[in-house]
Amino acid sequence: MNETSTSDLGFVFNEIIQKVQFPIIYSDSEKNPNYYKNLVEGLSEIELKNIIQSMDDLNEPIPITYTLQGEKILLGFLHYGESSIIMSLKWLPLIELLILLLFIILFTISFNSVNKIEKSNIWNGMAKETAHQLGTPISALMGWVQRMKK
């Protein structure tokens, strides 16, 4: 490697890889994991290979190549996953649907309650009116009965 390519790799490492906020794994050309970032510490090689496989299912790995005398040499692969923010954002539509469902349920319950109260008030009013309509002839008859007794 010449000095320019070394400085380019240093730039990539210092300015890109060190600053990422999502999980990444650097593997060699045979996809054996070498370095990783933003993952749980102390993972075994088998666990890392499983994570690499799941990352590759989500995103195509980025090949790290180096050109030497016109020939491209594959140094390894950069595997990357989704950040925790993106994983959280995947739940957002479900949370919104649950909140919407909650509002619909509350609206239905309150609408049914208002209907029951209206029906109850209608029945109360009808009962009072019926009592008033029955009370007038009955009181008149009672008055006639008392008058006849005298």
The reply to whether 10 falls in a domain is: yes
What are the Cα distances from residue 57, in Å, to 46, 53, 63, 150? 17, 6, 15, 106
Domain count, the chain: 1
Note the pTM of the prediction, 2 decimals. Answer: 0.53
Query: pLDDT confidence of 2, banded at 50, 70, 90?
Result: very low
C-alpha 125/C-alpha 15 separation (Å) is 79
The reply to whether 107 falls in a domain is: no
The reply to whether 125 falls in a domain is: no
Residue-number span of the structural domain to which 43 is assigned? 3-89
Tens digits of residue pLDDT in 80-138: 888 777 777 888 899 999 999 999 999 999 999 999 998 888 888 888 888 777 777 88
Higher pLDDT, 33 or 19: 33
